[in-house]
Structure 1
């Protein structure tokens, strides 16, 4: 069996679905291939802080109605340093910009619903995806459906299939350069049906380790604590998690914390990763297929959104204006913003976490960095500008 489309998109997560929706709105045919079921994709618990530009992109994709109705607008957040709470005024330092706290699961559900409403072609449970003739003007994708091999002829292939996907691996090793930093700890995250302890996020630096108080809604909270990479979920009962979280928070925050049974509990290792280039022939990488950041600065999903923004506009210019400038410059332009997100995420992680091998010199620098941050309007402005999102 053979199919034909203009853009073949590998990966049915938020990045792939967002690009598919935006292209479809401009009449650019595309097909999305996803190795898992829709239920599996919607079952993944991910980030929930959307930068200013991402929220605008959701609205442009005509998927922002529920986000605007249910999302929490945050104009600041708190940093606690061994019990001392200080607020970062995002709006005040960025000319009124803010972030939207809205769970990735709900965002993905909105994108799925939009694709369904428009009759978008999203094919699930595909197996043995292979990318072919990427350097030619006629690339094609094959995948297996049961015993049948399906071929999709297309103009361009978008690899939005995550860190473990086939897309990046389709670029020859002598072309691809990878940069990676693995951190010596992970985040143990708990989702609970409890009222958030704070109306804005609380990032807590503590000698016992980092902690984060986040939320998905006014009745659904997401909390994290830094743990060694050797820990497993089984090592942490709900009671043990709540006790350790409280020990890392300022006393008044800990006293106000509402606890309850965990709905979901998982440990995520922290990694910084970038693959260059993000284009090989007519294959374009996007999102986790090309880059990963530690979640400290809330840049992961938002970095993927900038890739989609660039790709969307490049495709529109190509098909509507016969202008390939955006396609030719995609990798360079996307990577310029990605490395800024990498720097910010690395800095936030370095500022707030306890590193097991750190020496007294490192601790003094970390303390000085925190003191400088809250003594300098320029430093706070830099933090705020990066957190709400640098311009696309």
Structure 2
């Protein structure tokens, strides 16, 4: 068989979305709803990267007042709409709520101050006294100081959601297709996407490449400081329903915001409809090192048993790992890139990509269609790091 001719021209399209994960699928969905023709290109398969290694968090509980919380609140509204459109049961969208717990009086004071700021920004957050925690989670450890209940937190099966969103979009999807260039016209604007299967003429490109978004940007001559941040999840044997909410320790928020490359472990524990309990989360910057870290997995198990002693007699049947697209200031990069006309970015969400995907896609689609987005994107401006190649 002859090698593919990367200079063969394929049918053109208004927009090419690079990346078929949850963020790319949302960008394609809302762009198609805006009346644009869309082609999605991915080097692997649908949800084959970070999306396929995620827990499906849709959280407002972990975000301080500010631009990311505003994005999360809009996204939560859109997720509820998508539940109606795609079928909540089909994508396993669960309105389970979150419970954040503190292990000490000092940690509880910090947590409640954090929650008070969120309430002022419109988040539903309810203080829970230590003696009331069993009403929410009967199997929690009995020596916890208290917590905060966030009824707006949700959960989704991310691979199902991404696949069904692309199906609902009715867009062209080219999987197993590597982007090798972003040709530009004499004025510097994008005019096509070159792939190893041929050339896709277009005037608008969305870089939703996740941990590979920096490589995509480099093809256009600009740099995005996106780095992979590795994380592990433990999966238990199937169990009767033990855990009602998404439960995590108050230190989780601090670990998300830390910039250290070292291993950080903070328990995030939840049940699933199928029965297994998912136990996350770890964070460390080790490049794309694929090795499974026994230290990280032991840390997860120990933290889970600390919060739920009943898990001490439960077997872990497997573990999986993925790489989150890490941004140095912990904010995603969303919007048009003024350095390259026609190029847009939707990346850098780290572990919040599933939750923030609908609002990200909605905002990017508005820009592509020439309309102002509903959410202020200035804090997410891709050029804020001002890095050129």
Count the aligned residue pairs. Answer: 299
1:223 aligns with 2:279: yes
Per-residue deviation, residues 306-338 of structure 1 (Å, max 9, x unmatched): 32121112233x3xxxx5x56xx99xx424268
Task: Tell me which residue corresponds to 2:211.
Answer: 163
Residue 110 of structure 1 is matched in structure 2 by 164
User: Are positions 1:21 and 2:29 aligned together?
Assistant: yes
Match of 2:379 in 1: 336
C-alpha separation in 2, matches of 1:164 and 1:58: 26
TM-score normalized by the length of structure 2: 0.63
How do 1:138-153 residues align onto structure 2 when only pairs under 5 Å count? 139-145=191-197, 150-153=198-201
* Residue correspondence of structure 1 range 203-282 to structure 2 within 5 A: 203-204=248-249, 210-217=266-273, 219-224=275-280, 226=282, 233=292, 235=294, 244-249=302-307, 253-255=308-310, 259-266=314-321, 271-273=326-328, 278-279=336-337, 280-282=340-342
For the Cα contact (< 8 Å) 1:210–1:225, is it kept in 2? Answer: yes
Relative to structure 1, is the Cα distance of residues 272 and 86 closer, same or farther in structure 2, using a 3 angstrom cutoff? farther
- More moved, 104-113 vs 62-71: 62-71
Match of 1:47, SS state, is coil
Distance in 2 (CA, whole Å) between partners of 1:204 and 1:313 is: 37
Q: Distance in 1 between matches of 2:16 and 2:314?
A: 45
Alpha-carbon distance, 1:227 to partner: 7.8
Q: Which of these residues, 338, 350, 355, is aligned with residue 302 of structure 1?
A: 355
RMSD: 4.0
CA contact (8 A) 2:238 2:277 kept: yes
Cα shift at 1:163: 2.3
Distance in 1, Cα, partners of 2:51 & 2:359: 24
Higher strand share: 1
SS at match of 2:248: strand
Contact preservation (8 Å) 1:194, 1:260: no
Gap change, CA 1:85 and 1:72, over 3 Å in 2 = farther
What is the aligned counterpart of 1:77 among 82, 99, 108? 99
Residue 267 of structure 1: CA displacement?
Answer: 6.7
Of the candidates 176, 180, 187, which is equivalent to residue 129 of structure 1?
A: 180
- The one of 346, 365, 368 aligned to 1:286: 346
- Asked whether the 8 Å contact 2:334–2:360 carries over to 1, the reply is no
Distance 1:282 1:86, change over 3 A: same
The offset of 1:63, in angstroms, is 4.5
Residue 228 of structure 2 is aligned to residue 172 of structure 1: no
Q: How does 1:367-386 map to 2 (within 5 A)?
A: none
3-state SS of paired residue (2:270): strand
Distance 2:349 2:91 in 1: 30
CA distance in 2, matches of 1:314, 1:227: 33
Question: Given the two structures, how large is their TM-score scaled by the length of structure 1?
Answer: 0.62
How far 1:282 moved relative to its partner?
A: 0.8
Q: Which runs of 5+ in 1 are unaligned?
A: 92-97, 340-392
1:246-272 Cα deviation digits (max 9, x unpaired): 5532xxx21266723424333758944
Work out whether 1:192 is the aligned partner of 2:236. yes
Q: Is the 8 A contact 2:96 2:153 kept in 1?
A: yes
Gaps of 5+ in 2: 1-7, 60-72, 105-142, 252-263, 383-389
Which has a greater percent of helix? 1
CA deviation after TM superposition for structure 1 residue 80, in Å: 3.2
1 CA distance for matches of 2:335 and 2:365? 18
Greater relative contact order (CA < 8 Å, ≥ 6 in sequence): 2
1:268 to 1:17, Cα distance in 2 relative to 1, 3 A: closer
Q: Distance in 1 between matches of 2:284 and 2:14?
A: 46
2:367 to 310, 314, 327: 314
Worse-matched range after superposition: 37-46 or 129-138: 37-46
Q: Distance in 1 between matches of 2:324 and 2:25?
A: 26
